[in-house]
Amino acid sequence: MGGQRLTGKVAIVTGSSRGIGLAIARRFAADGASIVVNFVAHEIAAKAAVREIEREGGDAIAVRADVSRGDEVDNLVHATKDRFGRIDILVNNAGVMVTKGVLETTEDDWDRTIDVNLKGAYLCSKAVAPIMLAQRTGTIINISSNSGLYHPSAMRFTEYVVSKAGMNGLTKALALALGPHITVNAICPGWIRTDMMEEIDPEVHERILAETALARWGTPEDVAASAAFLASPDAGFITGELLIVAGGRGMH
């Protein structure tokens, strides 16, 4: 395995059967953490992730839970505690994006996006907080988006932007509520090359590169490296912050 900076830690990574969540699960495992790979629909991919972590000498389990449902979140937390005895790190990564304009978005689209992206982060944080407070240590990392911050061209999909702006506010509110024993921070990625982005229009692709100082897409591993820092002892005095991982997007 890797640097072992998270040895002895237990991490739940929601939505970690693929994409950014999978990269974070792999990185945390390489750094020595035991991993709970959470999924809803992609059971085969989640179990494959567990096998990969185990092959590399790590410890992991896969647990199905829809983070927008309180009872399923409780089951996720109980399964983690039963298997590993503690919870040190929560990464609220599970998310959905509906690629429709505001006038085409349905009420169901709105509800599902807010429920998964924002309510899910709240429910998971609330469920792990008592355990972390009892341990007198814990880390919560929210995977937000720079679309919830400042950049106009990132703000195409209304319900997604609202969910991520809400997550940024939730990050700060939880940091105040859960200190001094729990740190809560958010990562705000720019355009990251994942399955969610595969069908993007070529013209949009070119515009993204043109407005990004580093002139490339981000990778899930770029986000995972930032998450690994926030989960490590090196970030012990950082809380309530929004870390932008966007390659200098929007500085032109």
Q: Which residues are catalytic?
A: 160
Q: What is the Cα 10 distance to its own chain's centre? A: 15
| Residue 247, H or E segment | none
Per DSSP, helices labelled H in the chain are 19-30, 43-55, 70-84, 107-114, 120-135, 158-178, 202-210, 220-231
| Rg of the chain over all Cα atoms, to the nearest angstrom | 17
User: Which of 69, 89, 105 lies closest to 21 in space, CA to CA?
Assistant: 89
Q: Which residues pair with 212 in a beta bridge?
A: 249
